[in-house]
Copies of this chain bind each other. A is one copy, B any other.
Amino acid sequence: MFDLKAYLKVKQQAVNTALRKLWDDTEPYPSLLVQAMRYSLEAGGKRMRPILCIAATEAVGASEADVMPAACALELIHTYSLIHDDLPAMDDDYLRRGKPTCHKAFNEAAAILAGDALQTAAFEVLADARQHQGGDPLKWLEVVHLIARAAGYSGMVQGQMIDISSEGKGITLEELEMLHRLKTGALIEASVRAGAILGGGNFHEVAALGAYGRHIGLAFQVADDILNVEGTPEILGKPVGSDRDLQKATFPSLMGLQKAKLHARELIDTALGELRIFGKKGKPLAALGRYIVERKR
């Protein structure tokens, strides 16, 4: 029986250690900017994207150390997107993971700039030549491209733009699914693909893991919508029903709660099917997939 809880704990610690090391050289007097960046980076994220990246690289037979810069970069990009999503001009959220959002803890300008600099830092980490001694620079360039595509105007940022533009407007289930495939799905898929590519996976392995990532990415959002209906503020770290307050379309609101749960389950089953070719090495990814729909926060 694979112990996911222990796996997550070990990997979270490894990722957190690597993330902390990024700013060791600016200690003991970090600038206000770096303080704001670290505030959000260390606010208790689950490190889901880095762990997916690491688990994917392990599935193709490589190890954590081979992909750690990519794992860190993915978390930096995810954190920047959360800071900007929470801004007054966007979702105007004041709590994130049970703590004041970056613009509440600092100020709006600092939050915009902390997000900007976290995004830049992601690409700085990916391209840091010291990390690549012995590695294949062409693969790292491919991963820079992959992550940039997933994070930008044809991925995450496009999804956020559609999301805020569609508030209060009726959208269809197909439009909602497209929105989330862009807003969260693209970066999750890129996380898995990056791990597979850097780990030396062959064409079929990268394709299978890409498909796995695409399905769990959407399942993650469906599960998130369900949690936003069923959770409590203590567990969620944010007000329950905040999506509803903004008149946002969600999977439960468009499909009904039971059908949304079924949809999440089906997506995960399809994702797990892609893992067959990896045998035992796919176990962490399978457990992560199941966790995504079964988690309580």
Contacts and interface: CB of A to CB of B under 8 A. Distances in A.
B116 A87 contact: no
A176 to B, nearest CB: 17
Interface string A22-61: 0000000001111001000000000000000000000000
Interface stretch (A143-151, A237-245, A246-254, A279-287): A143-151
A72 to B, nearest CB: 13
Interface SS of chain A: helix, strand, loop or mixed?
A: helix
A210 to B, nearest CB: 17
A246 to B, nearest CB: 13
Interface stretch (A4-12, A93-101, A105-113): A105-113
Contacts of A148: 120-121, 123-124, 127
A172 interface: no
Contacts of A149: 124
Interface residues of A, number: 48
Interface in A74-116: 80, 84, 87, 89-90, 107-110, 112-113, 115-116
Given A31-B161, A120-B148, A132-B141, 10 more contacts: A80-B116, A84-B113, A90-B109, A116-B157, A119-B119, A120-B151, A121-B153, A124-B145, A127-B141, A140-B141
Interface of A: 31-34, 37, 80, 84, 87, 89-90, 107-110, 112-113, 115-117, 119-121, 123-124, 126-129, 132, 137-138, 140-142, 144-145, 148-149, 151-153, 157-158, 160-162, 164-165
